[in-house]
A and B are shown apart, each in its own frame.
Chain A
Amino acid sequence: MNWISNFVRPKIRALVKKAEVPDNLWHKCPACTQMIFHRELEASLKVCPHCGHHMRVRARQRLQLLFDEGKYTTVELPETQIDPLRFRDRKRYADRLREATATTAEKEAILVAHGRMDGEATVIAAFDFAFMGGSMGLAVGDGLLAAARLAVMQEAPLIVVPSSGGARMQEGILSLMQMPRTVIAVEQVKEAGLPFFVLLTDPTTGGVSASFAMLGDIAIAEPGAVIGFAGQRVIEETIRETLPEGFQRAEYLLEHGMVDMVVHRRDLRETIINLFRLLRDKRPPAAVVQLPQTGTGSKHGDSTGGTSADGTV
């Protein structure tokens, strides 16, 4: 039954619904409850035109939004152990994985891609929240390590875009171990002298926030994104009080000095490109130097000959 309902049925559904017709032409903004026509929503990059609420975007769309002309190449991620603990709660983890693969058409909660930004090679690793809440297990950790290796190899900056509830419980302690592993990935990029940017999107919490996500050279957050360590319910249960307005939202973190800037989705690409340029082109453009004239030197008493005395070429 499980196999049929979790695997076969979604597959059949996916086949039947192959056509690009959205099942709903109108979307309701979860923040202001206004109805938005699907074309308008796509045009506004999934930002509500009425209230500015930034809805989650899938990893592929995120990559498309950031790379030049929306073009990129995804990288085949290394094979990792599947279900190392043979975890089972109400459902088997192996089944949850199959289900996630079937409904998202992705293999894991992360996509690693390379392409160009401002014409320069760039590597981006984007989380896909739709895949088990973007949770970080072995495959995601290995994905980030692969992204770091690729960035170092291409001498390219690395951008990571988390959208994740945290560690993947179903991989137990091995998911916790992705915290140091992803920090190592970050270190490799930094040690190569390359920029490591983090674009914090909704949500960035738990083990993801307490590792690579808080170690960016530059931390940019999307408006309204929930960013923090502990879950809001856990905090409420601990302190037995209601939480302050806007708690753990991007703007709140900005206020408390935890991120560099909060940037609207439509301006992200330009903001990042500008920063890349500032970090890349560090000197005034080379001045045009007059080439010394050759062959006329001796007559005019120029003892240094054809090369200039001050060493400029």
Chain B
Amino acid sequence: MHNFLDFEKPIAELEGKIEELRHLSDDGEINIAEEVAKLQTKADRLLRQSYARLTAWQKTQVARHPDRPRFSDYVADLVEDFAPLAGDRLFAEDRAIIGGIGRFRGFSAVIMGQEKGADTTGRVKHNFGMARPEGYRKAQRLMRLAERFNLPVICLVDTSGAYPGVGAEERGQAEAIARCIEISLGLRVPMISVVIGEGGSGGAIAIATANRVLMLEHSIYSVIPPEGCSSILWRNGEHAQDAAEALKLTAQDLYKLDVIDEIVPEPLGGAQRGRREAIDAVGDAIERHLFELCRHDGAVLRQKRRDKFLQMGTKGLS
């Protein structure tokens, strides 16, 4: 059973009708199968149409969809022999960021990312994917480990942002993020980041200062959530839709701005409707970029990563 978003109502209605008819067809009427097929075609067409022209706000909703594959799903499907590594060696283990060493399509790699959690218990356990300084310091530790053993770093980004809390501030949230960026920029191993859902501000860039930055077709990446932008610039929370539009936070806009390197296509109706397909598409894209990056030596990788960010901002939307 799908969780439908607001704008998917007509599709939900059609699928409901199809479901009803299917139950009826058990009674042995012949022309119902035909009717179902017709409705299915219509539903697919509707889905294709609405997903082909999602607004920035609709994309925001899709990017946050609870049925979208999360970090753990990607690891389960793409990584063999995953050995999760815990703790920042300073204060605590932060489950908002999971990381470890594993085998991705033959490559030993350090793999990390924010985990939002599958259900209520999981969400609480992983703090909704909002990391505290410990999470970012664990990420730093894993990056150093990757460097020491010459392993590529693969990051999957999915967070609404770094956790805004008293403890997080006291223990230096800002410093933890800044240091993460600094270490990323110094790495002499390939680093690839993929935004698989929400790329929320500083909490995202901390693990996305990479040689290649990819985004799933309906994911978002923004300096501030549209709700926050609305309450600051419009002085109330009611303009989130306008803010989403103005912020240019879709994968398509970011690609035009040269901020990301590739858009990974999602199956019809979004990653939440074809989880396996979406995960495989992400895996294929990472593999391709990894092969390309592995051709360069460490110093070149580091230089290229820096140059990439230095050049950013010369291209605008026209």
Contacts and interface: CB of A to CB of B under 8 A. Distances in A.
Contacts of A187: 182, 185-186
Nearest to B314: A81
A228 B223 contact: no
Contacts of A80: 313
A230 to B, nearest CB: 3
B221 interface: yes
Interface residues of B, number: 56
Interface in B227-255: 228-229, 232-235, 239, 242-243, 246-249, 253-254
A248 B164 CA distance: 12
Contacts of A180: 181, 184-185, 205, 209, 309
A88 interface: yes
A276 interface: no
B171 A256 contact: yes
A173 B259 contact: yes
A239 interface: yes
A158 B230 CA distance: 36
B174 A234 contact: no
B40 interface: no
Contact of B174 (A87, A89, A213, A257): A213
Nearest to B169: A228
A138 B258 CA distance: 14
A88 B233 CA distance: 10
A81 B316 contact: yes
A224 to B, nearest CB: 16
A141 interface: yes
B169 A248 contact: yes
Contacts of A170: 233
Contacts of B30: none
Interface residues of A, number: 57
B282 interface: no
Given A172-B249, A174-B312, A228 B178 contact: no
Interface stretch (A20-28, A53-61, A203-211): A203-211
A90 interface: yes
A258 B166 contact: no
Interface string A166-196: 0101111111110111011011000000000
B175 interface: yes
Contacts of A131: none
A227 to B, nearest CB: 8
Contacts of B254: 173
Interface in A142-157: 142, 145
A86 interface: yes
B192 interface: no
B162 interface: yes
Contacts of B211: none
Interface in A22-39: none
A214 interface: yes
B168 interface: yes
B1 interface: no
A129 interface: no
Nearest to B200: A176
Contacts of A239: 165-166
B117 interface: no
Nearest to A167: B223
Contacts of B310: 145, 181, 184
A142 B311 CA distance: 10
B178 A172 contact: no
Which of A80, A84, A180, A209 gathers the greatest number of chain B CB atoms within 10 Å?
A180
Given A89-B233, A214-B172, A174 B257 contact: yes
Contacts of A228: 169, 173-174
Contacts of B163: 238
A242 B209 CA distance: 35
B259 A174 contact: yes
B99 interface: no
The 4 closest A-B pairs by CB, nearest first: A230-B164, A84-B316, A209-B174, A89-B233
